[in-house]
């Protein structure tokens, strides 16, 4: 029951459960209408309620799998393997509580992410140390050769690292903060982001223009963070038109985006009324890490898939097994 | 798979992706079909600009605003805009200015907040007017519980099934091991030297 093979099975089971919950949520309005006769909506809050716990379970299993031995794990082996990652995860959780984090799911996500990161670090540390000791390789060379000689295993760990980064990015959205503001030309708005930085937005006024195939209504904002000028950010509404200057579809919005490792800032022009721009200003912590996590996963996947070079020199040991003699099945005493 | 085959396949896949991208770009550059009448559709869905209904209640006696702007925004995140955009009222009204439904719903929310109604009372008023479809997620009551519970029940059932299969496999393995270890059985499957070589080969393959 407690083996790496079993952990893989449980992992796949959770993935299937997540896929099923999406299918179930998609079909549930139809089912509900059939049973109760009234229409309901199943939107993001439903999927967050159901899938966040499943996702966290998956994250936890990502860290558990590599720590368990193949076939059967002994208690002493489990204790030895889990000691560092569990301690690291719990320490991270405690630190975040002390720092004031109170969002339950985010707290669990970061604790589990630290646990998985501890697992991955431990596996790399053991492998690199073994190569360093046995082959007298420098640490960077040992690290590169470790991955190159065991692509499936260590490429898999790199995929796990990508998943950890991805979940850290997802959990950051728990602290997302939206502000709905109206600004005339020259008006100033001061806002505080979830990390406590003070932002200052100065409206440069609304402008309208016509280009080759669209009318544009835009606003520029001079942006300051903690008293340091960050530059001008613009956001605009575009109304595309055809050759007869007839509008095509509804207006589309170009969002002003400022990306940093800590946080993305989005400015959305909702519209203009009486020369007053209506804007949504969103602070989205750690969004860029969702992209980085995806890229790390892709790199890990490529390492896993990359075929091993065929060995040119001969003479190495090749295991050849003779057919096993048929065992006579006799009832155990 | 050999490395050369792998690299060939990666190159072919990349070429196919680039070709598809070029094709899509050409299609996008082609003249578009005439647009339907303005105001009834968006780029992505059929927009119903007349879907807003009034949700009103007389203000409570000595009414004061019942919540802060942040709490009101959170409340609007729970209400779905009825223009068919699938967004909540807050997101729709602050993103898509062409929608006339979400601002109307926002005005009703504002009036009810000013009238001293709590979040629960406002949600009930909207459900009374539009039906349960105005909520972004079904209420946790009656048959709706099935929506929330079934995925977890399925996971639990799957876990029980996996544990049962693993136990069965474990029993069969134990039975075979017990019988092959008996002196009357066909003897050891491999010599000590062969087993040592096999273990070494497995270690290298790990």
Q: How many other CB atoms sit within 10 Å of the CB of residue B197?
A: 17
| Residue B37 clears pLDDT 50, i.e. is over it | no
Q: Do A50 and B201 touch (CB under 8 A)?
A: no
The per-residue pLDDT for B33 is: 47
Q: List, for residues A19-43, the tens digit of each pLDDT value.
A: 999 999 999 999 999 998 888 989 9
**R_g (Cα) of chain B, nearest Å:** 32
Among A173-182, A286-295, B111-120, B176-185, whose mean pLDDT is lowest? B176-185
Cα of B98 vs its chain's centroid, Å: 27
Q: Do A17 and B155 touch (CB under 8 A)?
A: yes
ipTM of the complex: 0.77
Highest-confidence segment of A187-196, B24-33, B36-45:
A187-196
Give me the residues paired with residue A203 across strands: A221
Partner residue facing A330 (CB), from B47, B184, B201: B184
Residue A306, min C-alpha distance to chain B (Å): 7
Q: List, for residues B47-82, the tens digit of each pLDDT value.
A: 777 788 899 899 888 888 889 988 999 999 999 999
Residue B195, min C-alpha distance to chain A (Å): 10
Q: Do B147 and A42 touch (CB under 8 A)?
A: yes
Positive or negative, the CA dihedral A103, A109, A110, A115 is positive
User: What does DSSP assign to residue A12?
Assistant: H
pLDDT lower than 70: segments of chain A: 309-333
Set of chain A residues whose Cβ sits within 8 Å of the Cβ of B29: none
The per-residue pLDDT for B42 is: 55
At residue B107's C-alpha, the angle toward residues A191 and A215, to 5°, is 70
Partner residue facing A38 (CB), from B32, B131, B155: B131
What is the torsion angle, in degrees rounded to the nearest 10, for the CA atoms of residue A41, residue A42, residue A48 and residue A51? 170
Quote the tokens at residue A316.
Answer: 């190495």
Set of chain B residues whose Cβ sits within 8 Å of the Cβ of A37: none
Task: Label residue B188 by pLDDT band (50, 70, 90).
Answer: low
Alpha carbon distance A218, A215 (integer Å): 10
């Amino acid at each position: 029951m407690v083996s790496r093979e079993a952990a893989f099975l449980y992992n796949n089971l959770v993935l299937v459960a997540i896929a099923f919950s999406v299918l179930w949520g998609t079909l549930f309005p139809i089912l509900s209408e059939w049973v109760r006769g009234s229409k309901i909506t199943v939107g993001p809050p439903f999927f967050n309620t159901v899938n966040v716990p499943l996702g966290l379970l998956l994250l936890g299993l990502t860290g558990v799998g590599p720590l368990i031995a193949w076939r059967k794990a002994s208690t002493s082996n489990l204790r030895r393997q889990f000691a560092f990652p569990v301690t690291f995860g719990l320490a991270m959780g405690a630190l975040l509580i002390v720092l004031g984090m109170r969002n339950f799911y985010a707290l669990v996500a970061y604790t589990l992410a630290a646990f998985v990161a501890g697992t991955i670090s431990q596996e790399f540390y053991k492998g690199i140390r073994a190569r360093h000791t046995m082959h007298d390789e420098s640490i960077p060379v040992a690290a590169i050769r470790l991955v190159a000689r065991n692509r499936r295993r260590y490429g898999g760990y790199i995929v796990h690292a990508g998943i950890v980064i991805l979940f850290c990015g997802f959990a950051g959205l728990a602290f997302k903060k939206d502000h709905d503001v109206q600004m005339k030309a020259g008006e100033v708005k001061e806002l505080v982001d979830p990390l406590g930085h003070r932002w200052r937005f100065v409206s440069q006024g609304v402008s309208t223009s016509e280009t080759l195939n669209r009318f544009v209504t835009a606003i520029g904002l001079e942006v300051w963070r903690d008293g340091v000028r960050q530059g001008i950010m613009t956001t605009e509404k575009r109304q595309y038109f055809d050759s007869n200057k007839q509008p095509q579809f509804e207006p589309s919005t170009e969002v002003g985006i400022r990306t940093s490792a800590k946080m993305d800032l989005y400015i959305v022009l909702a519209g203009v009324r009486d020369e007053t721009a209506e804007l949504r200003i969103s602070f989205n912590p750690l969004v860029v890490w969702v992209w980085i996590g995806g890229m790390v996963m892709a790199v890990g996947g490529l390492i896993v898939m990359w075929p091993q070079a065929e060995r040119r020199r001969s003479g190495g040991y090749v295991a050849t097994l003779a057919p096993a003699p048929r065992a006579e099945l006799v009832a155990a005493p | 798979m050999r490395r050369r085959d792998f690299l060939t396949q990666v190159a072919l896949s990349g070429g196919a992706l680039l070709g598809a991208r070029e094709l899509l770009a050409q299609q996008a550059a082609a003249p578009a079909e005439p647009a339907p009448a303005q105001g009834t559709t968006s780029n992505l869905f059929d927009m119903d600009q007349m879907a807003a209904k009034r949700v009103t209640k007389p203000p409570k006696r000595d009414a004061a605003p019942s919540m802060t702007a942040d709490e009101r925004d959170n409340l609007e995140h729970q209400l779905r805009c009825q223009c068919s955009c699938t967004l909540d009222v807050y997101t729709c009204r602050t993103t898509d200015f062409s929608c006339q439904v979400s601002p109307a719903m926002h005005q009703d929310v504002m009036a009810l907040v000013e009238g001293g109604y709590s979040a629960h009372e406002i949600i009930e008023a909207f459900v009374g007017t539009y039906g349960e479809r105005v909520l972004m997620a079904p209420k946790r009551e009656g048959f709706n519980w099935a929506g929330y519970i079934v995925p977890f029940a399925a996971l639990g059932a799957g876990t029980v099934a996996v544990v049962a299969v693993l136990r069965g496999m474990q029993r069969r393995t134990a039975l075979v091991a017990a019988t092959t270890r008996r002196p009357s059985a066909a003897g050891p499957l491999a010599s000590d030297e062969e087993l040592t070589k096999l273990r070494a080969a497995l270690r290298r393959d790990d």
